[in-house]
Amino acid sequence: MLPTFVIGLREGLEAALIVGIIASFLGQQGRRDALRGVWIGVAAAVLICVAVGAGLQIFSSQLPTTQQEQLETVVGAIAVVMVSYMVLWMRRHSRDLRKDLEGAAGRALSQGSASALVTMAFLAVLREGFETSVFLLATFNESHNALYSGTGAALGILVAAGIGYGIYKGGLRINLSRFFRITGVVLVLVAAGLVSTAIMTAFEGGWISSGAQAFDLSWLVRQGTPVASVLTGVLGIQPFPTWPMVAGWLVYAVPMAAVVLWPAARRTPAPAAAPGAAAPAGSAAESPAPAETT
Higher pLDDT, 148 or 50: 50
Burial of 270 (0-12, 13-18, 19+ CB in 10 A): exposed
User: 111 by DSSP, 3-state: which?
Assistant: coil
Average pLDDT over residues 171-199: 81
Q: What are the helix and strand counts (H, E) for the chain?
A: 9, 0
Determine contact, residues 2/148, Cβ cutoff 8 Å: no
Determine contact, residues 291/98, Cβ cutoff 8 Å: yes
Residue 269 has pLDDT above 70, yes or no: no
Residue 293 has pLDDT above 50, yes or no: no
Compute the C-alpha angle 140/197/150, nearest 5°.
10
* Ranges 59-63, 130-134, 233-237: which has the least confidence: 233-237
Residue 277 has pLDDT above 60, yes or no: no
Average pLDDT over residues 32-40: 82
User: Between the CA atoms of 226, 229, 230 and 232, what dihedral angle is there, to the nearest 10 degrees?
Assistant: 150
pLDDT digits (tens, 9 = 90+) for 83-142: 888 888 877 776 776 677 777 777 777 766 667 778 888 888 888 788 778 877 777 666
pTM > 0.85: yes or no: no
3-class DSSP string for 201-251: HHHHCCCCCCCCECCCCCCCCCCCCHHHHHHHHHHCCCCCCEHHHHHHHHH
Residue type, 149: S
Quick one: which of 237, 198, 199, 243 has its CA closest to 218? 237
Q: How far apart are CA 193 and CA 205, in angstroms?
A: 18
Determine contact, residues 159/38, Cβ cutoff 8 Å: no
